[in-house]
């Protein structure tokens, strides 16, 4: 009587393995902070040797930067999905504002705070943070420009309107680590009222459109 030998572990393609590593690193970054992303911790997450991580990412800095890019890109797609590109700009803006204030993105808000702080000391991270900010700015500005072309919005400077909205969102996000129970209706509506003012819309029109 012979026994069947165990199936050998499937060797993953380099692109698949690399994506798996980035996903694990992004998960660590979201849950524990970018400064906690190390080859050892990511290897532990995946149940592999640290040398495998180093094979794909020569430095922890490179891994941290790419993990942040991955998380930021996923956030951007969640906020302004490509699949909704054909929707009216007013509806897209309304959904964007509702989503950005949702609890699902709290960890991503913390990640942005974390990245901007660490970027002071890490030039490569500073570069990728700036690139991701520019990508988000470009995508939201395009929505505003489309709304202006269609007559839905009134904005002489679409990028300026975008910047005003994002600055308010970032300001609200700076409280994400605050454990206090303070709340106020003005804070809940601030992103909407700012967007409505910048886009020449009646009060409440964006909050009710989604």
pLDDT value of residue 109: 85
Q: What is the DSSP letter of 80?
A: S
Tell me the CA distances in angstroms from 205 to 6, 44, 198, one per residue in order: 63, 49, 13
In this structure, is residue 14 part of a structural domain? no
Residue 184 has pLDDT above 80, yes or no: no
pTM: 0.85
The reply to whether 59 falls in a domain is no
Query: Does any domain span residue 175?
Result: yes
Total number of domains constituting the chain: 1
Residue 79: pLDDT above 70?
A: yes
For the stretch 165-176, pLDDT in tens is 999 999 888 777
Give the model confidence (pLDDT) of 102-155 as tens digits.
777 778 888 999 999 999 999 999 999 999 999 999 999 999 999 999 999 999
User: Does 119 map to a domain?
Assistant: yes
Token couple for 170:
């970032």
Determine, yes or no, domain membership for 165: yes
Give buried/exposed letters for 139-148 (b at 16+ CB in 10 A, else e): bbbbbbbbbb
C-alpha distances in angstroms, 12 versus 9, 41, 52, 194?
9, 20, 12, 48
In the predicted structure, residue 160 carries a pLDDT above the cut 80: yes
Which residue segment(s) compose the domain that 114 sits in? 72-209
Residue 176 belongs to some domain of the structure:
yes
Cα 151 from chain centre? 29
Are residues 45 and 66 in contact, defined by beta-carbon separation less than 8 angstroms? no
Domain-located, residue 189: yes
End-to-end Cα distance, the chain: 67
Alpha helices in 33-102 (DSSP H): 39-46, 50-56, 60-79, 89-100
Return the closest-CA partner of residue 93 out of 84, 83, 104, 106: 84
| pLDDT computed for residue 1 by the predictor | 47
Is there a domain that residue 45 lies in? no
CATH number at residue 169: 1.10.357.10
């Amino acid at each position: 009587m012979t026994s069947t030998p165990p199936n050998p572990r499937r060797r993953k393609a380099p692109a698949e393995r690399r994506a798996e590593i980035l996903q694990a690193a992004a998960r660590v970054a979201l849950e524990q902070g970018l400064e906690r992303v190390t080859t050892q911790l990511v290897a532990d997450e995946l149940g592999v040797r640290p040398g495998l991580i180093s094979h794909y990412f020569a430095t922890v800095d490179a891994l941290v930067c790419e993990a942040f890019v991955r998380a930021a890109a996923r956030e951007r797609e969640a906020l302004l999905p490509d699949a909704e590109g054909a929707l009216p700009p007013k509806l897209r803006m309304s959904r964007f504002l509702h989503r950005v204030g949702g609890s699902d993105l709290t960890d991503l808000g913390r990640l942005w705070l974390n990245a901007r702080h660490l970027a002071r000391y890490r030039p490569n991270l500073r570069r990728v943070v700036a690139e991701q900010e520019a990508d988000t700015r470009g995508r939201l500005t395009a929505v505003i420009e489309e709304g202006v072309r269609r007559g839905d919005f009134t904005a002489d400077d679409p990028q300026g309107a975008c910047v005003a909205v994002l600055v308010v969102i970032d300001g609200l996000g700076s409280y994400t680590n605050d454990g206090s129970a303070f709340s106020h209706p003005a804070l809940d509506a601030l992103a909407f009222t700012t967007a409505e003012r910048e886009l020449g819309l009646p009060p409440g029109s964006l909050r009710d459109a989604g």
